[in-house]
Amino acid sequence: MVPLFFWGCRCCASGCTPGGDSVLVWDKDNQFINFSLTGLKTVYTDEGITVDDDTDWSGDIDDYRLILWRLGIQDPSWWDSISDGSWCGRLFMAGDHNVNFQDAVTYIDGKSPLTGIGMTGDSISGTGTVETDDLTDGQSSFTVASGSVTDGGTLLSKLTSGGEEEWLARNKPSDQNVDFVISGDQNIMTITHDIFFLNMYDVDI
């Protein structure tokens, strides 16, 4: 298990300090999908990390340093704190393939002027590479069940075959306190990628 180092005394590169040490799993304001995220939550709770979801969250985004959100199609109540740069933390946003989830692909791509990472609807699948980055450190491989293509930011994974399409990236804009992590496949949240998700909690902004 990758050791965790808590952020209580850390500062982000921008100089901001994450206000909380909890994880928020936001499964709202999105295209509904009946895949449970219980296993993903357990990755954190097994390490003693508090995980809230959209039904029991504190109501204050500053209580969280990591937000996980899949298939978003409209701005959640806390989005202004993302767009105005007042929140410090890491935001993971996941799309999916363009057959059933083009609305989510369009929404996430529409945020590219802020996140620096675009998304193009597709239906790629296969094994993903593990590109060198603090967020991927220790993760042995990625599985893409069916997803869309990303462009921009720092590449975290691309397919190992075919067109070697990029599908996972991160970016922290110089004028932002948020480290955006964008995935073209929301199945990454339901297939075992425990080390990657723990790294997203642990690694400095």
**Which of the residues in the chain have pLDDT under 50?**
1-14
Query: Phi first, then psi: what are they for 109, rounded to 5°?
Result: -65, -35
State pTM to two decimals: 0.91
CA 119, CA 96: separation in Å to the nearest integer? 10
Q: Which two tokens stand for residue 150?
A: 């990303």
pLDDT of residue 9: 31
The set of residues, in sequence order, having a beta carbon less than 8 Å from that of 21 and lying 6+ positions away, is: 6, 7, 8, 49, 50, 65
CATH architecture observed for domain 22-202: 3-Layer(aba) Sandwich (3.40)
pLDDT of residue 15: 52
